[in-house]
Amino acid sequence: MTELTRRNTMKLMSAAFVAGVSFSGLPRKAFSAGSITVLNWQGYGTDEAWSIKAFTEKTGIAVVHDYYSSESEMLTKLRTNPGAYDLVVLNAARCAQAAAEDLLQPIDFSKVPNAATVDEALRSNPNFSKDGKGFAVPWVWGMTSLAIREGMPVPDSYAVLADPAYKGRVAMDDDPIINIGVGALMSGQDINDPKDLAAVTAALKSIKPNVKLLWSTEDQWNKSFAAKEFDLSLFWSGGSVRSKRNSKLPVQFVVPKEGGIGWVDGLGIPASAPNAEGALAFANWMIDPAFYVEWATKVGAPASSNSAALAALPADDLSRQVHKPEYLKTMGIMSALPDDRREAFNNTWQEVKAFYAE
């Protein structure tokens, strides 16, 4: 997945302050005064000014940030700056890599009480674990699946992408990892390690008569959908919420029987963190329903890993409607890819794109 459009879109939705926030979930001065340094994408949840202000007032812990522009840069910063960071936001796939390199310390979940209601499917994901220990607090999640124009038949399988009824009416996400995942699901394989790439290739090539557009940005998707250039597409769960809520587009997000292609971001504590206690308190706040409801409804956010936080959203909240807990049981979560497999995925997608262009 591109690095990572979901975070870039958060920058567009960031607000300087949210009024009328109740932060009863935070303990007052429960930790000694000090500071923590958070490493994250800029504008991605942890650096909301209103949230930091409330957290500091209640705990006495100041929060400062350093940022990265790619996940490879994030790992480099962890490797080359020991003792510089207390908390790091990292994707599940990168968490497995960081834990393998001993860049993270195990999470003491007894100091993250809100984790008691984190969905077990996320908390037990092998990308977050090593030797039976958890190395990140699952924070937020989302997925790629199908989006269809409202009023059209609701599909139950990715096979619909090749249905002749949608000739010239399909848009595909121009991302090799996502498309190989879709081809893997269409051919009954593991999204992270399909053994038969020829079958994946054939499945993707079968879509050719229907492909109208290869899109790469949410803005491009919105404009093309609004112009009625296509009716059916691969799309992001969070993107569908924003398209419907902010752009008023008649889009319905659908997760077929094969499940979505999921991602999960976690909150890790670097092995050399100078203030792990403070970082755990902040991680607990990041999954607190009091924080999440304000972030999601006033600013815009992915789905919380905390089922209690999702349940605290208004019943008519679009994010709550799209990110149903049952999807966590069927979606595959993208994992770290070895270089040779990533190259094979890239080459396969380039071959399919060339075929589409013929």
**Angle 115-281-111 (CA atoms, 0-180°, nearest 5)?**
50
pLDDT band at residue 303 using 50, 70 and 90 as cut-offs: very high
pLDDT band at residue 26 using 50, 70 and 90 as cut-offs: low
**In the predicted model, what is the mean pLDDT of residues 119-127?**
87
pLDDT attached to residue 18? 43
130-164 pLDDT per residue, tens: 898 999 999 999 999 999 999 999 999 999 999 99
% pLDDT > 70, the chain = 91
- Smallest CA-to-CA distance from 85 within 50, 29, 35 is with 35
Q: Is residue 337 scored above 90 in pLDDT?
A: no
pLDDT attached to residue 271? 97
Q: Is residue 128 scored above 50 in pLDDT?
A: yes
Q: What are phi and psi of 236, to 5 degrees?
A: -85, 145
Q: Is residue 331 scored above 50 in pLDDT?
A: yes
Mean pLDDT of the chain: 90
99-118 pLDDT per residue, tens: 999 999 999 999 999 999 99
Q: Is residue 306 scored above 90 in pLDDT?
A: yes
pTM of the full structure: 0.85
Question: What are 319's two structure tokens?
Answer: 């994010």
Q: Is residue 1 scored above 60 in pLDDT?
A: no
% pLDDT > 90, the chain = 78
* Contact (Cβ atoms closer than 8 angstroms) between residue 79 and residue 269: no
Q: Is residue 27 scored above 60 in pLDDT?
A: no
pLDDT attached to residue 298? 84
192-245 pLDDT per residue, tens: 999 999 999 999 999 999 999 999 999 999 999 999 999 999 999 989 998 998
pLDDT attached to residue 325? 87
Tell me whether residue 117 is exposed, middle or buried, using C-beta atoms within 10 angstroms of its C-beta: 0 to 12, 13 to 18, 19 or more: middle
Q: Is residue 86 scored above 60 in pLDDT?
A: yes
